[in-house]
Amino acid sequence: MRMLMVGAALMMMTSAAMTSGAMTSSAMADDDDDKNAQKLAMQGRDDYWHCLAREYSRDSNQGLSEQEFGRSVAGACPSERQYYRVALLDYLTTQYPNIDAGAHLATANRAVESAQKDIVTAFVKHRPPQK
């Protein structure tokens, strides 16, 4: 009888340890998902910025006004822009799951707009003075 109770106790401890390990594995998987989402968002940002930099460097932009260049940038790099938006949206959703998805989308859209605004500002500041 005593051996039966010891066996039952060992089974319960093993079961508890396995459940605890599963929860630890789950937490580790969540952490990996968070890190992966962050990495993808950063990669999306970098890819979009590199594409905007290529747009900035085009010789055909030399004579453009600020407004013309702004329109050009707004239409440039559509796949990179969309990838950045989606990756950032995914990251925000993993980090803040209780916040409305619309708020995350608005944040991602503002990040894209900010990148475009920054490249236009750089274009205006660094173009040669008009003759």
Asked whether the CA dihedral 60, 77, 127, 68 is positive or negative, the reply is positive
What gap in Å lies between CA 53 and CA 73, rounded to an integer? 10
- Distance of alpha carbon 57 from alpha carbon 111, whole angstroms: 22
Write the pLDDT tens digit of every residue in 107-120. 999 999 999 999 99
Domain spans in the chain, listed from the N-terminal domain onward: 38-126
Distance, CA of 44 to CA of 48 (rounded, Å)? 6
Q: Please count the helices (runs of H) and the strands (runs of E) in the chain.
A: 4, 0
Please tell me the distance from the alpha carbon of residue 124 to that of residue 16, in angstroms, as a whole number: 64
pLDDT at 20 over 90: no
Question: What average pLDDT score do residues 51-62 get?
Answer: 90
- Residues 130 and 120: their CA atoms lie apart, in Å, by 17
Q: What is the mean pLDDT of residues 40-62?
A: 93
Res 50: pLDDT? 95
Q: What is d(CA 26, CA 3) in angstroms, rounded to the nearest whole number? A: 34
Inform me whether the pLDDT recorded for 29 exceeds 80.
Answer: no
pTM of the full predicted structure? 0.71
- pLDDT at residue 73 greater than cutoff 80: yes
Q: Confidence class of residue 62 from pLDDT cuts 50, 70 and 90?
A: confident
